[in-house]
Amino acid sequence: MSWNEIVGMVVIGVGVAFDALGCLGLLRLPDVYNRLQAGTKCVTFGTCGILFGIFIMNGFNSLGIKALLGIPFVLLTSPVGAHALARGAHIFGVKLADKTVVDHYADDRGDKPRL
């Protein structure tokens, strides 16, 4: 194995580990908003790590350039979708978890807090 395959395997391994931890948070956390935060951040960084590792393994051929092009697309679209989903869930009226003490977003919107 040459050096770029070894470095690429390590970077892809870091990305897969982030994906697994994000899915663990998706299963274990108590609330929609907590699940969205854990899932979206970890899975976005993990998918970017996988694509960057594929770019390191392949270099500047067609597969590597397309993988490198996918990184800004994931970084742009996934947080926007998660933000829209969190806003929609708050308007829909999903309760926050039991240990939550404050809901500033409801105060900003002039709505009753979802506690």
**List of residues contacting another protein (CB under 8 A):** 9, 12-13, 15-16, 19-20, 22-24, 26-27, 32, 35-36, 39-40, 43-44, 46-47, 50-51, 54, 57, 62-63, 66-67, 69-70, 73-74, 77-78, 80-82, 84-85, 87-89, 91-92, 94
Cβ at position 100, least distance to another protein in Å: 16
Place of tokens 């404050």: 102
How many Cα neighbours within 13 Å face the side chain of 34? 14
- Nearest approach, Cβ of 20 to another protein (angstroms)? 6
| Closest separation in Å from C-beta 35 to another protein | 6
